[in-house]
Amino acid sequence: MKLRHAILPLALALSLPAVADAARGFSVRDMAYLDRHSAPTLSPDGRVLVFAKRVVDKDTNKSGTSLWIRNLATRDMRPPQRLTPDGWNVNSPAFSADGKSVHFLSAKSGSMQLYSIPVAGGEPKRLTDTVLDVDGYKLSPDGTQVALAFAVFPECKADLDCTKKKLDAAEAAKATGTVFDRMFIRHWDAWNDGRLNRVFAAKLGGDGMLKAATLLSGGIAGDIPSKPFGDLSDFAWSADGKQVAMSVRQANREEPWNTNFDIWLVNADGTGARNLTAGNPAWDAGPVFSTDGKTLYYRAMKRPGFEADRFALMAMALGSGKAREIAPAWDRSADGITLSADGRAIYTTAADLGQHPLFAVDIASGTASKVIGGGSISSFDIAGGTLAFSRNSLESGDVIATTSVDGKAPVRAITPSAGEMLPEVAWGAYEQFNFTGWNNETVHGYVVKPWNYQPGRKYPVAFLIHGGPQGSFGDGWSYRWNPQTYAGLGYAVVMIDFHGSTGYGQAFTDSISQHWGDRPLEDLQKGWAAAQAKYAFLDGDKACALGASYGGFMVNWIAGNWPQPWKCLVSHDGVFDQRAMGYATEELWFTEWEQGGTPYDKPANYERFNPVNHVKDWKVPMLVIHGQLDYRIPVEQGIAVFTALQRRGIESKFLYFPDENHWVLKPQNSVLWHDTVNGWLQQHIGQ
């Protein structure tokens, strides 16, 4: 395969004079307090844009999110105006069908409820008064109905008061024990209390506030939205509002090792639930009705039990129930479905060669064309000939911008970049490179220069290993693993998208399963050698390797299988004992797919790449980090790593968070995480 050297134009915008004029590099405190922009939402005619803006109060260390509005029909330089009142913390904007008001969720009343506010401004109007929090909503196309998501006890059916009484009784009970008779007993960072996420429908437009609604998903024993990260993108209204479609997995004893989500068709009065995709035992997601109601579009995987399989775009004729794949030759996994105004194309984002562009896929031919590239598109909206999107990169968090739906009109930035918000900061310039990795196949990576880079100098290196393992460290912004925080300290950064990463074709992604410790390790070793050969400023004698989740596993693995280059290691929430992981994690389908079966059926597979078997060869100083609420990779895994290090007499530290899950999300904890990690690096490789 021919090697290709790719340099991104965005990466070269940082010139040496700009570095010389800048006062400093980027820091974790900059990252923690940066304004964040998200959720670009267009009015039905595409002439008005609303988006969310999150601001952190430095004095209280608390964040708040407001909605802002911009009239796109004007070409003056007036900035967006705040739409929601000061002191309101809101989320999930959506325009009314007539474009005159914006709906959103807020807990201003003490519980999460649905509100609307005129586009022209004014006081928000509360639309719901339910005894339970509204967890999500979706307006019908004509705006006369709204779907509302609640967490309810199944035996309570449509009676929200029943669920509230049960919750109050559990809170007041003196005994704290809980008896389980099936899994999930816990998921991600929460214990199962018996409730299911369910969707209700209510009429809009009457006097007073909505207090009750019709249960739509009562005939389906499963969560919609799914747990722990699902939303109502898995729910759709038909154009006439008479039917809904939703993606649900059955909540039964098989759920922890099952990825079989099905698309259900239900009448808008809650009757007639029908499984449309019962013939596919794998994951079906994201239904969207055609305007004429005759076709249902959705995404589908083919292999049961594999959460990282390719999501193909599908079209089902509702009259016959026959489905076809729209773009079988497009070797990318679609993130979602947004129909074009004429119904001839699907807009979707997808990982692609270290970036995350927006594509348009022709429904008739299956041809996919890139609409917006350069960095990573995190969200978008299309209406009235306008495309609004948020895009981030290795140099900035999300910037909201607009263009034409074909992406050919000039891109118009609506919100500032990180560089514009922090003009005194110099950013580490970055470049994508590639090399020949495992199986003589091309593997890609990124190198980030330190903020104060000078030709001829060498710089210590932070070698970052991504998690997933079906993930990517590409041209995108992260608030947890951000290369610029290392570049801002004067380090160079190297990141390798080893075999198993997404965006390089499904075969590339598949190659890591049952091969956690050999193929990716070969890529990391060859990528590290290739980076040093290509970039003379990398100081290979002063380098530390860092990773989380699968990246934490790989750090634990290389501690006993590739220790030679590293002066220190950082293992965050990493797998240490594969066999224990197979019994203790909550989503069993993950370990059982990755290891080829259960620990009792395939014990040799769990031992083949098991870091616990190589502790005798450990010698590199390691910082271990874990959160108590991490039920994906339970905290005992991290404690065991630290125990092994201490027992072996290897220099080590353990950073423990009693209130964090698989991620570190609280701003103060994030600052502590970075200060601890940076201190560890400075202790071992300088700067």
User: Dihedrals φ, ψ of 194, to 5°?
Assistant: 95, -5
For 59, how many CA atoms within 13 A lie in the half-sphere containing its CB?
0
Q: Are 431 and 13 in contact (CB under 8 A)?
A: no
Residue 5: per-residue pLDDT: 30
- Evaluated on CA atoms 109, 115, 117, 119, the torsion sign reads positive
pLDDT at 18 over 70: no
**Under 8 Å CB-to-CB from 351, ≥6 apart: which residues?**
332, 333, 472, 474, 502, 503
Please tell me the distance from the alpha carbon of residue 402 to that of residue 414, in angstroms, as a whole number: 7
Please tell me the distance from the alpha carbon of residue 597 to that of residue 575, in angstroms, as a whole number: 17
Residue 662 is among the residues annotated as catalytic for this protein: yes
- Neighbouring CB atoms inside 10 A of 104's CB total 25
pLDDT at 7 over 80: no
- Evaluated on CA atoms 472, 478, 484, 488, the torsion sign reads negative
Please tell me the distance from the alpha carbon of residue 22 to that of residue 451, in angstroms, as a whole number: 9
Between the CA of residue 350 and those of 313, 330, 503, what are the distances in Å?
A: 12, 11, 7
pLDDT at 20 over 80: no
The three-state secondary structure class of 292 is: coil
Residue 8: per-residue pLDDT: 33
The pLDDT of 164-180, averaged and rounded, is 97
Please tell me the distance from the alpha carbon of residue 8 to that of residue 370, in angstroms, as a whole number: 16
pLDDT at 259 over 70: yes
Residue 15: per-residue pLDDT: 34
**Percentage, residues of the chain above pLDDT 70:** 97
Residue 388: per-residue pLDDT: 98
Residue 543: per-residue pLDDT: 98
Q: Are 454 and 490 in contact (CB under 8 A)?
A: no
Out of 27, 66, 549, 670, pick the active-site residue: 549
pLDDT at 22 over 70: no
Out of 37, 614, 662, 674, pick the active-site residue: 662
Find tokens 């006097």 and name the residue.
207
**Domain segments of the chain as ranges:** 425-685
Please tell me the distance from the alpha carbon of residue 526 to that of residue 509, in angstroms, as a whole number: 18
Residue 615: per-residue pLDDT: 98
CATH class for domain 425-685?
alpha beta
- Neighbouring CB atoms inside 10 A of 233's CB total 18
Return the axis-axis angle of helices 519-534 and 550-561, rounded to nearest 10°.
80
pLDDT at 542 over 50: yes
- Neighbouring CB atoms inside 10 A of 148's CB total 26
Strand ranges in 143-195 using DSSP code E only, listed in sequence order = 145-152, 186-187, 190-191
Residue 17: per-residue pLDDT: 39
Please tell me the distance from the alpha carbon of residue 586 to that of residue 591, in angstroms, as a whole number: 10
pLDDT at 640 over 70: yes
- Neighbouring CB atoms inside 10 A of 99's CB total 18
**pLDDT tens digits, residue range 89-120?**
999 999 999 999 999 999 999 999 999 999 99
Q: Are 112 and 105 in contact (CB under 8 A)?
A: yes
pLDDT at 645 over 80: yes
Computed over every residue of the chain, the mean pLDDT equals: 95
Nearest to 197 by CA among 137, 139, 241, 268: 137
- What's the helix, strand, coil split of the chain in %, to 5? 20, 35, 45
The pLDDT of 373-386, averaged and rounded, is 98
Burial of 584 (0-12, 13-18, 19+ CB in 10 A): middle
End-to-end CA distance of the chain: 39
pLDDT at 594 over 50: yes
Q: Are 588 and 257 in contact (CB under 8 A)?
A: yes
The pLDDT of 223-234, averaged and rounded, is 97
pLDDT category of residue 21 using cuts at 50, 70 and 90:
low
The pLDDT of 237-264, averaged and rounded, is 98
Out of 475, 497, 577, 630, pick the active-site residue: 630
The pLDDT of 31-49, averaged and rounded, is 97
The pLDDT of 157-178, averaged and rounded, is 97
Q: Which two tokens stand for residue 413?
A: 């930035």
Residue 320 is among the residues annotated as catalytic for this protein: no
Give the strand order in the sheet containing 338-339: 338-339, 345-349, 358-362, 368-372
Q: Which two tokens stand for residue 444?
A: 């890609």
pTM of the model: 0.95
The pLDDT of 391-401, averaged and rounded, is 98
The pLDDT of 425-445, averaged and rounded, is 98
